[in-house]
Amino acid sequence: MKRVLIKTGGRAAEDSEALIQLAQEMKRLSGEYAFTVVHGGGAAVSAIQKTYGMEPLFIHGKRITSPLEMDLVDMGLAGLMNTYLVRLFVTQGLKAVGLSGADAGLFTAESVGDHNGKENRTGRIISSDVELIHHLESKGYLPVISSVSMDEQGLAMNINADEAALALAVALKADDLIFISDIPGILKDNIVIPSLDQHQAHQLIEDSVINGGMIPKVESSLKALNAGRGYIIIGNYNKLGDLQGLLDKQKGSRLFLSALGGL
């Protein structure tokens, strides 16, 4: 059975109709694929921050997280979004189990560093332990994982969901890593680029064709490729059949290593 890790976020993580169809498709394909879902939910977190009078701050597409804001990130991702997705998937016959990166040490992180001399709880993953995921998969459960975790001292850490998906895909030796995005793929002049290697991707970043929140998504993809994943797909999900299309490389943008090898 092939192992597929799906990362969903942005508007895609809040579109209940599309998520129901995604769940139905995962259920239909469950005899062929073992799925794990990693989710973001930055819009929900930003909405909570604004409710508490805080303005979200992003640098190069990554959220800066003060200790106080970290509480709101936990609320939004490990609480609101994770429970929302689990409930929805369960109604479609999937045995979904909600987890965070802290559960059984799925991934442990360290801070990326202070911001303007103040503590920053935005982290980078330093280790992963996927034994729990293997156990759940063996019993037919669907792990649904939020990207919050902790450091080695137990302090809460906010991890970019794309990077969490990368780390888990590598640790799980996933056959496929699919990033479900708000857009149909990597675009140039509003046209999906069906395939590109790491050199082309870096050039598109340099040329600002790839920008904003797509930069960490593509960078995570390239790291996963160099860690042994065969290809990464970035695309959207709108209707039944789109997951099969992404798996069959008929939709989205396909990233791969060039014949020249590493970065």
Domains located in the chain, CATH noted = 2-186 (3.40.1160.10)
**pLDDT in the model for residue 41:** 84
79 alpha carbon, distance to own chain's centre: 17
Strand order in the sheet with 33-39: 96-100, 142-146, 33-39, 2-8, 176-180, 232-235, 253-256, 195-197
In angstroms, the CA 102 to CA 111 distance is 15
**pLDDT in the model for residue 214:** 80
Beta bridge partners of 111: 123
Per residue in 21-46, is it b (16+ CB within 10 Å) or e — as a string? bbbbbbeebbeebbbbbbbbbbbbbb
Q: Above pLDDT 70, what percent of the chain?
A: 94
**pLDDT in the model for residue 118:** 85
**pLDDT in the model for residue 45:** 86
Which DSSP letter does residue 117 get? T
In angstroms, the CA 215 to CA 197 distance is 15
**pLDDT in the model for residue 230:** 64
- Which regions of the chain are under pLDDT 50? 260-263
Length of the chain: 263
**pLDDT in the model for residue 154:** 95
**pLDDT in the model for residue 12:** 66
End-to-end CA distance of the chain: 31
**pLDDT in the model for residue 261:** 42
pLDDT of 47-56, one tens digit each?
888 888 888 8
Tell me the CA distances in angstroms from 262 to 4, 71, 162, 209, one per residue in order: 23, 39, 20, 22
pLDDT of 127-159, one tens digit each?
999 999 999 999 999 999 999 999 999 999 999
**pLDDT in the model for residue 258:** 67
With residue 179 as reference, give the H or E element that holds it: strand 176-180
pTM metric for this prediction: 0.89
DSSP letters, 92-112, are TT--EEEEETTGGGSEEEEE-
